[in-house]
Structure 1
Amino acid sequence: MTRFLPRFEIGQRIGLFGGSFNPPHEGHLLVAETALRRLRLDRVWWLVTPGNPLKDVRGLPSQEERMAACSRLIGADPRIVVTGLEASIGTRYTEETIRYLRARCRGVSFVWLMGADNLAGFHRWQKWQAIAASVPMAIIDRPGATLRAVACPAARSLAPYRVAERDASRLASLKPPAWLFLHGRRSDESSTRLRTERKRHF
């Protein structure tokens, strides 16, 4: 766990997985593990955001608390690194963070990782077209989001750049825009449901 830029090596293939992680759960871990295996990544960096600009952050636990919870969930897997980088460099939006990383991590092949439920609202993200044009993206299937995701405005706009799932191992080396949809084992866990259950017990 680090608040700064994680260690990296030239030539590495690194997945970027951003979110509030409030709280982190098995579904988040499954996304990371699926990406590591199917995309043949060397690392996945969990970018724990100070707060999602599209969400109400009132009552959001501190970044340190959420990072610690992520680290407990991940355990000893050295391939997954939890970072609070965005707070340290002062970025609020994903496009800014990716621009920062690409400028400072020359020789690294980044892939943006996203659950299918987030793809459905991707067109509302700040400079989402610039994100798609700067790094390949892997969308990992989530329960209840499959059809909604592939029919969303961003997916329709980026349809010409969709890569076949069988080519997942090549995604990190493709020139963006390039994206694919990964199917496989899914988890029904969600941060929203876990927060609701937690409130019910207190």
Structure 2
Amino acid sequence: MKIGLYFGSFNPIHTGHLIIANHVAYNTDLDKVWLVVSPHNPLKSSSSLLNEHHRFHLVELAVEGESRLRASNIEFSLPRPSYTVDTLAYLSEKFPTQEFAIIMGSDSFQNISRWKNYMHIVQHYPIYVYRRPGHEIEPMYGVKILDAPLLDISSTVIRQHVKDGKSIKYLVPDNVQQYILENGYYR
């Protein structure tokens, strides 16, 4: 089985993330897509992060009933900060019969040279890159470049809307919206 790992803080997960994950799951040779909730991205500030277990639960709600998508909290038990190369090594050891690949936007791919042991990653794992406007990429390292449907939605805007008491309907799945509001997240 070939599993695509879509890493993110998912703070919170939104419709844009889900459209990309679903598109990749059904329009590539990947069998499943795991949405891997990162406790803390070493390249991002953690000050506005909702607790990782809450973010993971929101991802679980978002992918409920979708057979090809799965929420993963695999990085919660690994040393912090989490580095993709370490997560891949751990998963490859824990699930030796699975083949793992990485899914990322062209904006993230432009920073791949800043990743820990990035040459090991590009040499040993398939990478699926979906284009993002303003972040053109050249095919290199054998990456598979995808044109996934994109929505210009950001978790930052969603957090601000919640804080300002504005609606986030249609930006996140209904069950995610309900859970965020019921629990007072991002206020």
TM-score tier, shorter chain, comes to 0.7 to 0.9
1:20 correspondence with 2:26: no
Which ranges of structure 1 fall in alignment gaps of 5 or more residues? Answer: 1-11, 162-177
1:186/1:108 CA distance change after superposition, 3 Å: same
Aligned letter for 1:38? N
1:100 correspondence with 2:90: yes
- Give the corresponding residue for 1:196: 160
Alignment of 1:114-125 (within 5 A): 114-125=104-115
- C-alpha contact (below 8 Å) 1:20/1:49 kept by paired residues: yes
One of 37, 42, 46 as aligned partner of 1:53: 42
Query: What displacement does 1:135 show?
Result: 0.4
Q: Deviation per CA, 1:170-199, whole angstroms, max 9, x where unpaired?
A: xxxxxxxx3111014221112222223333
Aligned letter for 1:33? N
- Give the corresponding residue for 2:31: 42
The normalised TM-score by structure 1 is 0.74
1:64 correspondence with 2:53: yes
Partner Cα separation in structure 1 for residue 50 and residue 13 of structure 2: 12
- Give the corresponding residue for 1:134: 124
Partner Cα separation in structure 1 for residue 25 and residue 32 of structure 2: 7
- Give the corresponding residue for 2:79: 90
Which ranges of structure 2 fall in alignment gaps of 5 or more residues? Answer: 166-186
- What percentage of aligned pairs have identical amino acids? 30
The normalised TM-score by structure 2 is 0.80
Partner Cα separation in structure 1 for residue 112 and residue 160 of structure 2: 24
- C-alpha contact (below 8 Å) 2:9/2:39 kept by paired residues: yes
